[in-house]
Amino acid sequence: MSSKMWGGRFQKPPHRLTEEFNASLSFDRRLYRQDIKGSMAHAAMLAKQGLITEEEKELIIKALQEIMSALDRGELQFDPGVEDIHTQVELWLIERIGTTGKKLHTGRSRNDQVALDVRMYLKEEIGEIRELLLDLEETLVSLAEEHLYTIMPGYTHLQKGQPVTLAHHLMAYFEMFWRDLGRLEDCKKRLDFMPLGSGALAGSGLDLDREYVREQLGFAELTRNSLDAVSDRDFALEFLSFASITMMHLSRFCEELVLWSTDEFKFVEMDDAFATGSSLMPQKKNPDVAELIRGKTGRVYGDLMCLFTVMKGLPLAYNKDMQEDKEPLFDGIDTLKKCLAVFTPMLRTAKFNRQRMAEATRGGFTNATDMADYLVVKGIPFRVAHEIAGRAVLYCIEKNKTLESMGLEELKQFSPEIEDDVYDRISLNGCVASRKVKGGTAPEAVRDAILEANKLLSEFGRVRVSGGSLSGDEEGEDWEQDGEEPLKPKEPEAGFSDESWRYEIDEWVEGFFHSLVSMLNAFTAEQPPEEVLATLEIVPFGQLVREQLSDREEELIEYAVEKVNQLHQAELERLKAYLGGE
């Protein structure tokens, strides 16, 4: 039996090189589930319209289900001599049920068939990518909650500009990836049109019920023009554009992590699980994962440019050039998914050096703008205040001083308006705390941004604070957590001494601790930092962990309690340092 769908018009078979050159099965085979699902819906419609019998429909659908199950189990081997996935599925069908299988392609062209398959495939992939992005967004918000009072330099031109918090910096990336999520959702809207029934280019002369197929396959709408339906790849271009922008955001973040992990910055250390070493230099710990994500960004850009170039000169309708749409689309999908999948745990396990970030912020006169703002509040025009602050910076450079280390009389030589209260304003904490404007870096402004982010995430079913609250007396008795109970660690396979099990407990305790801190932040959203500290001090985290793990081994419980108490103490010290100023 010929493996060609189109051999009747030809007097001799294609050259071997033509067959090899023309074939796409090596890469479009990944569409087999979508191809089979589309064929089952098409067969059901043909029976509904009286174009095949009910018995033929049942025979076709049963055989297609068997083929899909066999492929899922790896029991069928693709024939390298077959042209594409559509032909391969049809050949398998005919092998099983004979002539009845030849009726499946009634009212259908491979042009509208492949347009359907790719749309169905991309719809499914968009769902998976959406979840990966939401995982990343949740991680960013969790880290921002943890670092609400961690001060670091804010940069322009990679030169120190003004003090910000790490939470504010992390939430900047939340905004970037949230826009990416919006682009992904928009892409799905324009993708969600069902093209089957458009035929090769002109529609079908048979009485097909396209609306029935649309409902069966779960598409939002029907395509409105058959020429456009079979020649449109805008949805793939739009997806790759989204993927390119998302990869650009990942790349920017990775560039910062690479810089921050250097000995010169020392802002962050990547977990050993997401770093590699050198075959020559024993001391090296390289941020290879971050570097590779940065490198793969160019690859996704290339996928987008590849498809743009394929489509740029094509007349209507379908042209064989469009077979070249799949490899860049598949590669863009695969690359983005891999990068998102590895980036989120890499970020979640990274250790940020709060002390080093604060030290770096003290240099570079990052408080100069705040000195100018202080003078503005005293009634001095901004341009004059800017000049005064600039002269003060120059003086400090010449004298090897900082603005905050100068005595009041020294400061007054630049402006008689300067009083003792200037020191509160130009301290690092004062600089950060003053920027309370919506979208600013002050902890209370960032806390508002975090609460807003939680609301946005809840629209996608990611409820980070599910109405829970913490309450108790001054001694820390009778505290309880409302809402869903956190998952307990599963039983260790190799005993508690196994390091992988210890790592799992560490991860659970950190997640449990930060979920409680998240609820505490929501509970105290309107309170000043001093009251937040007072509340935080009496939360019995150790007791709560012990209650959660009450049915576990005592050694495990003690380890978990010690771990959560360390996290609690670190959080208290961080908040006290912020309130105390330096």
Distance from chain centroid for Cα 311? 29
Residue type, 553: E
CA dist 66 and 32 (Å) reads 13
Q: Write phi, then psi, for 441 (nearest 5 degrees).
A: -95, -5
Residue type, 102: K
Q: Active-site residue among 2, 157, 500, 550?
A: 157
CA dist 375 and 381 (Å) reads 8
Sign of the dihedral through C-alpha 108, 110, 116, 120: positive
Q: Active-site residue among 15, 26, 69, 278?
A: 278
Radius of gyration of the chain (CA): 31
CA dist 128 and 135 (Å) reads 11
Classify residue 317 by its DSSP letter: S
CA dist 137 and 420 (Å) reads 43
Number of residues assigned to the chain? 582
Clarify whether 518 is annotated catalytic: no
Q: In the chain, what is the greatest distance between 2 CA atoms, to the nearest angstrom?
A: 101
**Residue 442 DSSP SS3:** coil
Label the pairing between strands 221-222 and 193-194: parallel
Clarify whether 157 is annotated catalytic: yes
> Measuring CA to CA, how many Å separate 367 from each of 127, 424, 440, 450?
45, 11, 16, 25
**Residue 75 DSSP SS3:** coil
Q: Write phi, then psi, for 455 (nearest 5 degrees).
A: -65, -45
- Residues linked to residue 482 through DSSP beta bridges, in sequence order: none
**Residue 105 DSSP SS3:** coil
Sign of the dihedral through C-alpha 213, 219, 220, 224: negative
Q: Locate 170 and state its tokens.
A: 């992390």
CA dist 121 and 190 (Å) reads 14
Q: Which residues contact 256 (CB under 8 A, 6 or more apart)?
A: none
Q: Would you please indicate which residues are annotated as catalytic (active-site) residues?
A: 157, 278
